[in-house]
A = this chain, B = another copy of it.
């Protein structure tokens, strides 16, 4: 079991783009979800696929079990996901010792851009780059689970992260 400790932010502007890698496309859906735990299946544009079980209430840290699985099985599972299958492109930006993952959402959430930084410990204090906007760690509206399972129209406040294109 790995401990997942991460902080999550909205992204403002596009000044991160020259710093980022080529990105990888991701499709993901939830297979089972409860208050404090979820099972997610994900396929990557590079052919990988994985199954991830997350357990825990804390916004900052959760237990995470991840398994590589056969991509064809993952596709079958995606067709049985609950809620919306989310598509996004994930970019990585290295900043000092920290890796920022920047998710640019497509489809239903087109325009939404979220940055996550994974920490070694909850006490880590990464420098916050200037393209990083408001912190949304613990804001359930921005959890991937909420994005996948919410129904009806998506309402995010008119924030700078809501970029066009």
Contacts and interface: CB of A to CB of B under 8 A. Distances in A.
A43 to B, nearest CB: 15
B67 A67 contact: yes
Interface string A29-71: 0011110011100000000000101010000000101010100
- Per DSSP, chain A at the interface is strand
A32 to B, nearest CB: 4
Q: How many copies does the complex hold?
A: 2
B67 A80 contact: no
A76 B1 contact: yes
Given A1-B73, A1-B76, A31 B51 contact: no
A77 interface: yes
Contacts of A63: 80
A30 to B, nearest CB: 10
